[in-house]
Structure 1
Amino acid sequence: MNYQTLQQSWPQFSNDISKLVVRLGLDKLSLECDHCALRANSTESAQQLAQAFAENGQVISNNMINGRPILIIKLDQPLMLGEQAISCVELPFPSSKVYPVEGWEHIELVLPVNVSSCDDLASELVARVPSLQGVLAGETDIKVKMSSPKGDNERLANPTIAFKHDNLCVKVHPHTIEAIIASEQ
């Protein structure tokens, strides 16, 4: 996997991820997509991608999260997801887990609410999109994972709900990645 391959695969990924957003009913909320993320299975691939992205943007965060470096790159030219410009890319270095597909993996949407737990975030989501109740209850083929990932210096709680289907993932959280990075300063 290299930078050019990623660029070429973006249109298909953005089309597929947009369909998942619609299926979840999140399209009705007009949420900001603050960043997208990819997966690399080798440190060598991650290093090559980090260098290529740094040539096309600026690394605004290089943080240890769950024992591995995760870079956030603010792009010079945003990626387009429909009408929405995505200015940041998350590049996690590999862990011991091997991903079935390398490349684009998820987008993260911001639901600007004042919550500090995944349960409260889920309640806010269901209040806005009642059909998510069944998804969150495990009644569909969409897997749900709730987590509160935290960088070493983060001061802002950012509970996250991930909706996964067919090697695609849409995550929802209350704060933008840039607000989280600012909280570290």
Structure 2
Amino acid sequence: MDKIIAENAKFFEKMTACFGDLSQFEQKIQQIAEIVGVDLSLYEIDHLAVRMNTTETAEKWKSTLLEGACLLKESEVNGRPIGLFTLQQAVKFCGQFVKIVELPFPKNKVYPQEGWEHIEIIFPILEGETAEQWTARALSHFNLSENPDIKLKISQPKVVGERLPNPSIAITLKSVTFCNPYCLKLHPYDINSIIMSEM
């Protein structure tokens, strides 16, 4: 048992060395949630995600994750692989235990900083609701269109084999005074439901 605890501690040290301090990331995500008016205790945090600028870094981070996680799925999304990793031991984040880390390989965008970048929370879709109706309801529910402090990016990534609609609302803070480069994303389904729909 002590050996397992020591191995987990070593793995999380390596993750911190690669991705940065999880507690600082957590504080910045909580700041976005407060400004947006999202009570994170009411919504499932599906996964945490990282960003990097080079394929070399992505390969290195993938190897690091595989030391303490299993590859759940790797998909081609918009011309680049995105890996989803299930941690052997969940991390505590904003009062929840989160087991999945998303690692998208870089495309053309250069990020001002590499490491932790966003979280995705589940705002559940209603039975019979379309992706467009879900998006409109989410925007209205959180009054997102009226919030002067945020920027929104609405998209629907296309992944081969996915049968469920998977729209996304990405929320970032607009003002430079916040000094917050992170992102909070809303999705209608958790990643396991999306994967199950492909089978």
- Fold match (TM-score > 0.5): yes
Rg bigger for which structure?
A: 2
The whole-number CA distance in structure 1 between the counterparts of 2:104 and 2:25 is 18
Task: Give the secondary-structure state (helix, strand or coil) at the position aligned to 2:118.
Answer: strand
Q: Secondary structure at the match of 2:21?
A: helix
Between the aligned partners of 1:11 and 1:124, the Cα distance in structure 2 is 31
Change (3 A) 1:120 1:158: same
Post-superposition Cα deviations, 1:90-147, rounded to whole Å, max 9, x if no partner, equal 1000101111111111000101123332x42233225533x43403xxxx13110000
Which of 85, 109, 114 aligns to 1:73? It is 85
Judge conservation of contact 2:47–2:98 (CA < 8 Å) in 1: yes
Q: Which runs of 5+ in 2 are unaligned?
A: 1-13, 174-179
2:36 maps to 24
The runs of at least 4 aligned residues of structure 1 exceeding 6 Å deviation read: none
Q: Does 1:38 align with 2:46?
A: no
CA contact (8 A) 1:53 1:73 kept: yes
Say whether 1:171 aligns with 2:174.
Answer: no
Shift of 1:29: 6.8
Equivalent position of 2:133 in the other structure = 120
Partner residue of 2:146 out of 112, 134, 158:
134
CA distance in 2 between partners of 1:104 and 1:125 (Å): 25
Match of 1:53 in 2: 65
The Cα shift of 1:64 comes to: 0.2
CA distance in 2, matches of 1:79, 1:16: 17
- Provide the aligned length of Structure 1 versus Structure 2: 178
How far apart, CA to CA, are the structure 2 residues paired with 1:126 and 1:44?
37
Task: Report the counterpart of residue 180 of structure 1 in structure 2.
Answer: 194
Percent of aligned pairs sharing the same letter: 37
Q: Which residue of 2 aligns with 1:62?
A: 74
When residues 18 and 57 of structure 1 are mapped into structure 2, their CA distance, relative to the original with a 3 A threshold, is: same
| Distance change >3 Å, CA 28–CA 105, structure 1 → 2 | closer
Which consecutive residues of structure 1, in runs of 5 or more, have no partner in the other structure? none
In the superposition, relative to structure 1, how do residues 159 and 29 fare at CA in structure 2: closer, same or farther (>3 Å)? Answer: farther
1:82 to 70, 94, 104: 94
- Contact 2:20–2:116 (CA under 8 A) maintained in structure 1: no
Q: Is 2:108 the partner of 1:100? A: no
Give, as a single letter, the amino acid of the residue that structure 1 aligns with 2:43: L
Q: 1:169 to 1:124 in 2, by over 3 A?
A: same
Residues 29-71 of structure 1 deviation map (CA, whole Å, 9 limit, x = unaligned): 7110000111011111111111111111111111000000000
